[in-house]
Amino acid sequence: MKKYITLLLWLSGMAFAYSQEPTKEKEINDLIDELFMEDDVINELTTSLKNFQFLYISTTFNSDTYFSGRDIGVDQYNITPQITFANSNGIFASLSGIYYSEFVPKWDVTTATVGFSRNMGKDKLFKYSIAYSKYFYANDIDNIYTNTINLGLGFRNKKRTLGTQLSGSYLFGEEQSFEIASRSFVDFNLLKTKKTSLKFKPQLNIIAGKQTIELARIVNQNGQLSTQYTENDVVDLINTQINLPLMYSTSLFDFEAGYNINFPNAIGDESNLKNTGFFNISVGYMINL
């Protein structure tokens, strides 16, 4: 079943937006990648499919919440339900949301996404996609970014065991920003039958983007000291993540359990950032239409 899901989710782009914390740019960058990174490897049967359409219902549980790999000091889990439609013409659409156990309101945002993706080349080793997302926030003050356009390109070897995916995202609303993300993976088949598969797929995810940094300096004006603030836009590495998932698939259900390690990169006046880690568990069900 993962072969169907990948046609939709592989480089399709955007699903989630940020929550009610001060580091909003870091949060939206992180939550955008929740959908971009939620994909599986296209196996050999994928490229042979010609006519299909389906609904896919899934839920992911993350044991801890970190934004761009950063610990914001709130011990909480999050849950991301999603329903997705896709067909063999490359058209896809999804409706998703995110729930935080300790934030108020707990249901942070609902996201609608539409897009198009297509395999390229004789062996269909390349894939491109374009997607648009609209965010509907539970909190009216969190409207800095309300739209995202995502462009993606990916490549994998003929055996579908190695691959790299690149994505560029333009965020806009009251303010504008952009993000660049990549994912590289190795796929190990541990067990494979006609109806089931068990695989281990370690992945390296790298996220960079534009961040607004506020700088403060002390100046002397007419003999009095005062503080002046200026804002600079910088493009920098935001976070590097290692994902270690174990995936089990049947003809209709998908199960995944994994551990994730974040290596956040200090930006601006950030210092002493600690590496963070969390467990994830997800389950999905496919309905053929």
Q: Is the pTM for the entire model greater than 0.85?
A: no
Please say whether the beta carbons of 255 and 247 come within 8 A.
Answer: yes
Query: What does the pLDDT average to over 244-267?
Result: 92
Query: What does the pLDDT average to over 137-161?
Result: 84
Q: Is the pLDDT of residue 231 over 60?
A: no
Kindly report the number of other CB atoms within 10 A of residue 234's CB atom.
Answer: 11
Per-residue pLDDT tens over the stretch 71-127 = 888 899 999 999 988 888 888 899 999 999 988 889 988 999 999 988 888 888 898
Cα(242)–Cα(231) distance, integer angstroms: 32
Cα(67)–Cα(278) distance, integer angstroms: 12
Cα(250)–Cα(255) distance, integer angstroms: 9
Per-residue pLDDT tens over the stretch 72-83 = 888 999 999 999
- Indicate the pairing of strand 188-192 with strand 107-120: unpaired
Given this model, what pLDDT does residue 45 score? Answer: 34
Q: Domain ranges in the chain?
A: 2-288
Q: Dihedrals φ, ψ of 262, to 5°?
A: -100, 140
Per-residue pLDDT tens over the stretch 205-223 = 999 987 665 544 554 556 5
Q: Is the pLDDT of residue 39 over 50?
A: no
Please say whether the beta carbons of 226 and 200 come within 8 A.
Answer: no
Please say whether the beta carbons of 49 and 18 come within 8 A.
Answer: no
The CATH number given to 2-288 is 2.40.160.40
